[in-house]
Amino acid sequence: MHPQRRMQYLEAIGIDLWVSRRDSGARAAATVAASGSAAAPDPPPPGETAARWEALRSEVLRCTRCPLHLTRTQGVFGVGPSRADWLVIGEAPGAEEDRRGEPFVGAAGQLLDAMLRAIGLDRGTNVYIANVLKSRPPGNRDPRPEEVAACLPYLVRQIALLQPKIMLAVGRMVHRFGELNTPLVVTYHPAYLLRTPADKRKAWEDLKFARSVYQQRANAQ
């Protein structure tokens, strides 16, 4: 990406360009490389991929596995291309996501999109975005362990279809993807960054770290 364009994106997400980057390595300590030793599951034949995605989406939108289906407006499946090197994982839909049926919309979604654009990613073309929970917890309360346990298999199936080369988890919840050998980098949730703009620079360091991990993997293949 052209440096000037990147600067424009960084300005748009509120990062001070003059700030020292001396602690750029520190945030690496906050990253998690999922260390599952097993190989990723084989991707389905290309002709079957679209059908499997559609079947999974339909299953999620009709799901009644946990009580959250009683209070949601609609399930929030995920958004992005059917194959993408990058997967961004959030916690659960909020009110706006529940209303519109798409993850990361509203102010936090706009900030996430701006951050992703700063490293050359776009939800319409090369990054997939999904939540761990596909239905909104009432009042935006924290997801309960039994809800995560019920819903996580859907995300695992999304990952199997997507075959991402890197995953970026935003928010407090970190999950182990022990069956997959895909790096998982953890960073701040955009909603938190809207409340705490001073930490945007740390999130930017996380994104740069994720990009470097991705490039290392891409170069090694």
- Helices within the chain (DSSP H only): 3-12, 46-61, 95-100, 106-117, 145-162, 190-195, 200-220
Using CA of residue 102, residue 132, residue 120, residue 79, what is the dihedral sign? negative
Nearer to ligand SF4, 60 or 207 (CB): 60
| Among the listed residues 204, 132, 198, 136, the one whose alpha carbon sits nearest the alpha carbon of residue 171 | 132
Q: Is 157 in the site for ligand SF4 (CB under 6 A)?
A: no
Q: Is 144 in the site for ligand SF4 (CB under 6 A)?
A: no
Q: Is 151 in the site for ligand SF4 (CB under 6 A)?
A: yes
Nearer to ligand SF4, 136 or 165 (CB): 136
Nearer to ligand SF4, 60 or 116 (CB): 60
Nearer to ligand SF4, 133 or 170 (CB): 133
Burial of 64 from C-beta contacts in 10 A (0-12 / 13-18 / 19+) = exposed
Sequential DSSP letters for 110-149: HHHHHHHHTTT--TTTTEEEEES-SSPPGGGPPPPHHHHH
Q: Among the candidate windows 82-90, 132-140, 180-188, 191-199, which touches ligand SF4 by CB under 6 A?
A: 132-140
Q: Is 34 in the site for ligand SF4 (CB under 6 A)?
A: no
Residues 123, 124, 129, 134, Cα dihedral to 10°: 140
Q: Is 132 in the site for ligand SF4 (CB under 6 A)?
A: no
Residues 74-103 that bind ligand SF4 (CB under 6 A): 75
Nearer to ligand SF4, 60 or 162 (CB): 60
Residues near ligand SF4, by CB under 6 A: 60, 63-66, 68-69, 75, 133-135, 147, 150-151
